[in-house]
Amino acid sequence: MRGSGLWFCLLLFIANSLQYESPRLWPLPQTVSMSASDVYYISQSNFEFEVVGTSSEILSGAFERYYNILFSSGSGSVEGLRELTALRVTVEDMDQQFIQFQTDESYHLVINDTVSTLSAKTIFGAMHGLETFSQLVRFQSLPEAEIDDFPRFPWRGLLIDTSRHYQTLDTIKKSIRGLSYDKMNVLHWHMSDGQSFPFESLVYPNLTKGAYAPEFTYSREDVLEIISYANSYGVRVVVEFDMPSHAGPSWGKGYPFLTMNCSRIFLGCNIPTNRFTDGCNDYPFDATNEKVYEFLDKFIEEVSQVFPDNFLHMGGDEVQTACWETPHVLQWMNSHNMTNFNQLEEYFLQRVQVFAERNQKLIVNWEEVFTSGFSLVPGTIIEVWKDSTTLNEVAKAGYGALLAYNWYL
């Protein structure tokens, strides 16, 4: 009889293990209602996504992508379950084909019939709804549910640094896919730094002389491919060209007049092991040379045409002002009634801000431009990377703030 007791315990364990568990959603939507007692199943032969009205290439691509995800695992038991044959998708504004800051990303998902519904204002909201739908499905079964969702923050991003660490297109695309699956919407592309300059400029082709090697560059076609790929996943590409510091020696390899020579400040840079350290790669632009501004005016115009996002990240952090302590800079400052390097830095930033505005770009800067008390153009967003105190001060001053301290997110 002791054996029958063992069998009873085993059968009880099996029965409990087969009970349906509601899926866990990430990130948690704003409002969620699920019924684990009302469960549907989908079959690869019958299920389809339906569009109300005209579809788009981006939405069709998302359908194909999520169809493959839904049926990537084996199916469970469907006994006693109703079959869900279609998810009917309605997009209010199918004309918005490019995601921008504050694009409506909300959606409403209802699973309550054999043909269930997903509605959104834009295709980018619909894609978030498809991601949630895919998370509801486990072994081709899913619960009855109603979900209303919209992002708490309009800017949810990840920074990649392709200057200090060159990344292949496939690696960048993998990051984009990961952002999409987490419903994040910004790829902050820190394109260049003092270590290398991988961006291929058609206006100034010698800039890539500052790359690690000719094969470690991004052509115009490469960049456009990444932008298009990111947009198809609902991800914006915000490029950063840091200035006035973090410019040399890379920018100056092809155009020596652009950057200061700081070898007298950072000793030991000729030692191979120091070649790529930050100290040997934080040379600022020559902020007193008018040719530098003529150069950056044309360069920012080119960049603005390549990157369609409304924002341009212009850096502004960690300026090594000691590099400006040279006779020709000090003489120029004296003739312009400047008594300290903060004034020179602010002069530089105000000059290049005009170039961005002229190309209808809003500006993102690192927190140093705020903590230094510089005059900033309206609409500037400050990215805070040090502590929460500065974040609070930025918000109180009325600027948009990006939280990036502890992690570059």
Assess contact for 382 and 405: CB atoms under 8 A: no
- Identity of residue 199: F
62-69, long-range: CB within 8 Å, 24+ apart, which pairs? 62/123, 62/126, 62/127, 62/130, 62/232, 63/130, 66/130, 66/131, 66/133, 66/134, 69/134
Q: Supply 401's token pair.
A: 């703030």
Nearest to 86 by CA among 40, 135, 26, 132: 40
> CA–CA separation, 391 vs 367, rounded Å?
9
Q: Which long-range contacts (CB under 8 A, 24 or more apart) does 112-116 make?
A: 112/144, 112/145, 112/146, 114/40, 114/82, 114/83, 114/84, 114/85, 114/86, 115/50, 115/84, 115/85, 115/86, 115/87, 115/88, 116/84, 116/86, 116/87, 116/88
Residue closest to 133 by CA, chosen among 48, 232, 18: 48
Residue with tokens 């301290």: 405
Amino acid identity at 116: S
Which helix (H) or strand (E) segment is 59 a member of? helix 57-70
Query: 77 near 145, Cβ under 8 Å?
Result: no
**Pairing relation of β-strands 48-51 and 381-384?**
unpaired
Catalytic residue flag (residue 57): no
One-letter identity of residue 131: E
Exposed e or buried b per residue across 79-98, where buried means at least 16 C-beta atoms within 10 angstroms of its C-beta:
eebeebbbbbbebeebebee
Q: Phi/psi at 307 (nearest 5 deg)?
A: -100, 110
Cα(first)–Cα(last) distance of the chain, in Å? 62
Catalytic residue among 318, 325, 357, 367: 318
Q: What are the catalytic residues? A: 318
